[in-house]
Structure 1
Amino acid sequence: MTIEQIFRDKSIKAKAKVSTIGKWLLNGELPLEELLLYAEKQNATDKATCIEAIEYATKKTPAIADENLLTFVTAALKDDEPRVKWESAKVIGNIAPLFQATLDRSITNLMSNTVNTGTVVRWATAYALGEILKLKTDTNQSLLPKIEALSEKEEDNGVKKKYLDALKKAKKL
């Protein structure tokens, strides 16, 4: 079965598509680059499903990520579709340790999603920013006060908790 066949088959539920494609990525049956090229040309729903499959795979094995993936999900943070934004943020959170020196653009795009009206977008953004903060890089000098301010302003307890947990871990040495 191909990616295209999976998406055309309406009997396959979204979660099954995600896990199947994610497993293909993990076992090398599907090159990441091929999935990114496919996702780029899809409608918002299918693009988000592709990114969710990448999130599934990078949660288990972050090392499958490369610079092209970081560039793709960083750009996808600007997408109009909320699900594309939140799945991209989760991927960045999963792979941030691999790209510690090249996260500036990702941080910039994540910061624009901290005020999104969607709670899930803000939660995933808080997760990604928190994972970046936990890396304790030079970026923390500017990121730490921003996350402290965000945690004070955030009204949703789940999102706020993500920020506070990251701040706690980042301040421990």
Structure 2
Amino acid sequence: MNIVELVNNKSLKAMEKRIQIIEILLEDNLSLQELITICDSLKDKQIAIILEAIEEITNKKMKQLDPAYIDFVEKYILSDNNSCKREASRIVGNLAEQYPNKLDSVIQCLIKNTTDDSTVVRWGSAYALSRIIVLTEYANTDLYDQISDICEKEQNNGVKNQYVKALKKAVKIRK
């Protein structure tokens, strides 16, 4: 079964679909360009399942993904779908340490989502930004001050704690 058939299969639950998509992506039989083409033909809810699979691969470090995956997920950070926004942000957070030189344009998308009405979207952005700010390349930049300001304004403790922990780590790098 291919990815399009999987995401359209109504007899499978989302978790089952995600597991099978992970297997397909780990097999290396699908190029990133093919994946992009597939996603261009799908609805946001279906894309979110694919992004969840990619997030799990990056989170558990099941496979070294190409840095072009950051470019691929960037457009989903500003999607209309909150699940796409959240998962794309988490993927960036998981890949940040491996590809610090690929983050400049995606950082602006993440910052934009820090004011989103949805807590899960703000949390996803906090997750990614918190992993970026502790990188040597970013700890001593204006991004530190931006994240400090965002942290002060954030009302949700779960989101705020992401920033607080990262800012404490970044302070040590800044010295």
Question: Kindly, what percent of the aligned residue pairs are identical?
Answer: 37
Partner of 1:13: 13
Q: Distance in 2 between matches of 1:15 and 1:114?
A: 28
Q: CA deviation at 1:28?
A: 2.6
Partner of 2:95: 95
What SS is found at the alignment partner of 1:98?
coil
Matches within 5 A, 1:8-157: 8-61=8-61, 64-138=64-138, 140-157=140-157
**Contact conserved, 1:26 with 1:64, CA < 8 A, in 2?**
no
Provide closer, same or farther for how the CA distance between residues 7 and 102 of structure 1 changes in structure 2, counting only shifts above 3 A: closer
Once the two structures are overlaid, the 10-residue window that deviates more, 163-172 or 121-130, is: 163-172
Q: Distance in 2 between matches of 1:106 and 1:171?
A: 23
Partner of 2:163: 163
Q: Distance in 2 between matches of 1:14 and 1:146?
A: 36
**Contact conserved, 2:139 with 2:170, CA < 8 A, in 1?**
no
Q: Distance in 2 between matches of 1:116 and 1:62?
A: 31
Structure 2 gap segments, 5+ residues each:
none
Q: CA deviation at 1:146?
A: 0.8
Q: Distance in 2 between matches of 1:28 and 1:166?
A: 34
Q: CA deviation at 1:93?
A: 0.3
**Contact conserved, 1:127 with 1:162, CA < 8 A, in 2?**
yes
Q: Distance in 1 between matches of 2:20 and 2:36?
A: 16
Q: CA deviation at 1:61?
A: 2.2
Please, what TM-score do these two structures have when normalized by structure 2? 0.91
- Provide the aligned C-alpha RMSD in A: 1.7
Q: Distance in 2 between matches of 1:13 and 1:6?
A: 10
> What is the count of residue pairs matched by the alignment?
173
Q: CA deviation at 1:144?
A: 0.6
Provide closer, same or farther for how the CA distance between residues 115 and 35 of structure 1 changes in structure 2, counting only shifts above 3 A: same
Q: 1:41-98 CA deviation, whole Å, 9 max, x = no partner?
A: 2111001111111111111227532243111111211211111111100000011122
Structure 1 gap segments, 5+ residues each:
none
Q: CA deviation at 1:15?
A: 1.3
**Contact conserved, 1:36 with 1:69, CA < 8 A, in 2?**
no
Q: Distance in 1 between matches of 2:166 and 2:79?
A: 26
